[in-house]
């Protein structure tokens, strides 16, 4: 950022003016809430702060006032200026999306260094006055200019993609879901949260005493929630699969049991959930700062997938991406390099998968590879390497070489980039919600939403259709 050359007391004349133009964003208000400690929901997106049934996202008054300080500190008088006083009178309200013009006009000079300015903020679209006031400042004593002033970047950890998925899933009919062994607070709480948002109707399968103890620990009533008794974890998994076979459940959700126990029951030969493809796991990641959800697969089930398995991994991920609203998913098949190297098997698999998609063996999306991680997700890196494709730099799905790479990538996104991850197993007759024991409520709720949206696409019950009904 460049700060304009400042102006000392002697260089300033009565009548001098300066202004900046700034668009209000929801993220600005979250940054202000974090910095100031003012968490008034009137200013935060997705909240009804005054109980009128509408979400407000009103610009905090002092955030609007701070735009005046930006004009004073950056332009007039500029670098080196210090405040002595500022009055503010608010005439109207600004909201997220408004384009605001902050202006200052010098009205008086008070030797040896005092400057008095009239200050205003108006909305550009209609000229409405948001605030008026007066600033009294100490002008800088020395001439200065700063080039390329470095300000640390801020990233707002707001999971807007998951918010959108949940909002799309809530109008759907609740998805009957067999929840296997929700015998501790986190897994039970996630299932009940999905029920409170009307995304799922949980059927709790496991030890009733442990389930009720977990409910008591989190203070959650189980009134109206069906509990199906099962003696142990393996039995509970088979009972849950039976509920699907009987048509009473349309999804499975992992509770407090080993994934192997759940999948062993789902893969049984008689009345199991096989549907012709390999079971594959997909993480739907909401990464702060990314413009779209990022799908990572397979990071949980297939250890060292061969080419045939990777075909199913690609197809399952494309199907899920379409279910959550990505019309033509762009799939980047990852390797250590972006060129085919016979000594790197993952680069050969990636090239073959790309060609298979061109020939219609993988459908519904665009597949390209091999791509290294940087040129899969960053358009600048792709251009630097001279890669020209619809996927490079724009990948929405990342297919990893093996479970090691996938697990590391997903956890790096979660613990370094502060992403939330929804987990779903694909390739079965019904979606299987698969969360880690350490996942929080948002991850579990988003997983329910992803499963519900996928089921809705498979059954032809879109959110738009449901709302119209």
From the candidate CATH numbers 3.20.20.70, 1.10.20.60, 3.10.129.10, 3.40.50.1100, the one assigned to the domain spanning 9-138 = 3.10.129.10
- In the predicted model, residues of the chain with pLDDT beneath 70 are 1-3, 46, 147-149, 153-158, 462-469
pLDDT of 153: 67
Q: How many helices (H) and strands (E) does the chain have?
A: 14, 16
160-468: same fold as 9-138?
no
Would you state the pLDDT for residue 1? 45
The dihedrals phi and psi of 78, each to the nearest 5 degrees, come to 105, -155
Give the number of other CB atoms < 10 A from CB of residue 66: 17
CATH number for the domain formed by residue range(s) 160-468? 3.40.718.10
pLDDT in tens, 33-85: 889 999 998 888 767 778 877 777 899 999 999 999 999 999 999 999 999 99
26 vs 301: CA distance, rounded Å: 38
Using the structure block, give the residue that is written with the tokens 């790197």. Answer: 344
Helices (H), 296-366: 307-323, 345-358
Strand duo 330-334 + 397-399: pairing: parallel
Element at 360 (helix H, strand E): none
Backbone phi and psi for residue 281, each to the nearest 5 degrees, phi listed first: -100, 140
Task: Report which secondary-structure segment, H or E, holds 29.
Answer: helix 26-36
Beta strands in 217-334 (DSSP E): 226-229, 251-254, 280-286, 294-297, 330-334
Question: Distance between alpha carbon 437 and the CA centroid of its chain, in Å?
Answer: 20
Query: Which residues make beta-bridge pairs with 22?
Result: 100
**Per-residue pLDDT at 148:** 61
Domain layout of the chain by residue ranges: 9-138, 160-468
Instruction: Enumerate residues 6+ apart whose C-beta is below 8 A from 232.
Output: none
């Amino acid at each position: 950022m460049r700060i304009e050359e400042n102006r000392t007391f002697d260089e300033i004349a009565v009548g001098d003016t300066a202004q900046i133009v700034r668009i209000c964003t929801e993220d600005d208000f979250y940054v202000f809430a974090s910095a100031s400690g003012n968490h008034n929901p009137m200013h935060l997106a997705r909240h009804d702060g005054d109980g009128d049934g509408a979400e407000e996202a009103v610009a905090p008054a002092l955030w609007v006032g701070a735009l005046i300080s930006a004009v004073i500190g950056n332009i007039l008088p500029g670098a080196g200026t210090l405040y002595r006083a500022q009055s503010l009178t608010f005439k109207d309200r600004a909201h997220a999306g408004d384009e605001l013009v902050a202006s200052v006009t010098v009205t008086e000079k008070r030797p040896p260094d005092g400057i008095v300015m009239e200050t205003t903020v108006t909305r550009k679209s209609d000229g409405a006055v948001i605030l008026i006031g007066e600033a009294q400042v100490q002008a800088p004593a020395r001439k200065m200019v700063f080039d390329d002033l470095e300000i640390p970047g801020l990233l707002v950890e707001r999971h807007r993609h998951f918010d959108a998925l949940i909002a799309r899933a809530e109008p759907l009919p609740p998805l009957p879901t067999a929840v296997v062994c929700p015998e501790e607070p986190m897994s039970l709480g996630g299932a009940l949260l999905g029920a409170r948002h009307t995304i799922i109707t949980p059927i709790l399968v496991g030890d009733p005493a442990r389930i009720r103890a977990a409910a008591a620990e989190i203070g959650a009533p189980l009134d109206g929630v069906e509990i199906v008794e099962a003696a142990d974890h393996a039995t509970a998994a088979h009972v849950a699969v039976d509920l699907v076979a009987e048509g009473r459940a349309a999804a499975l959700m992992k509770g407090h049991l080993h994934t192997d126990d759940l999948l062993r029951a789902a893969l049984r030969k008689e009345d199991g959930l096989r549907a012709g493809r390999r079971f594959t796991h997909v993480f739907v990641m909401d990464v702060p700062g990314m413009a779209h959800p990022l799908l990572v697969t397979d990071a949980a089930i297939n250890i060292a997938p061969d080419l045939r398995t990777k075909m199913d991994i690609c197809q399952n991920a494309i199907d899920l991406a379409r279910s959550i609203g990505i019309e033509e998913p762009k799939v980047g098949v990852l390797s250590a390099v972006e060129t085919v190297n016979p000594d790197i098997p993952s680069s050969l698999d990636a090239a073959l998968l790309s060609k298979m998609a061109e020939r219609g063996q993988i459908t519904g999306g665009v597949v390209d590879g091999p791509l290294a991680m940087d040129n899969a997700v960053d358009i600048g890196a792709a251009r630097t390497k001279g890669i020209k494709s619809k996927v490079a730099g724009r990948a929405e799905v990342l297919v990893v070489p093996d479970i090691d790479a996938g697990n590391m990538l997903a956890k790096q996104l979660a613990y370094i980039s502060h992403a939330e991850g929804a987990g779903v197993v694909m390739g079965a007759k019904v979606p299987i919600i698969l969360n880690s024991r350490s996942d929080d409520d948002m991850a579990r709720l988003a997983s329910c939403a992803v499963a519900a949206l996928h089921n809705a696409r498979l059954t032809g019950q879109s959110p738009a259709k449901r709302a119209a009904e």
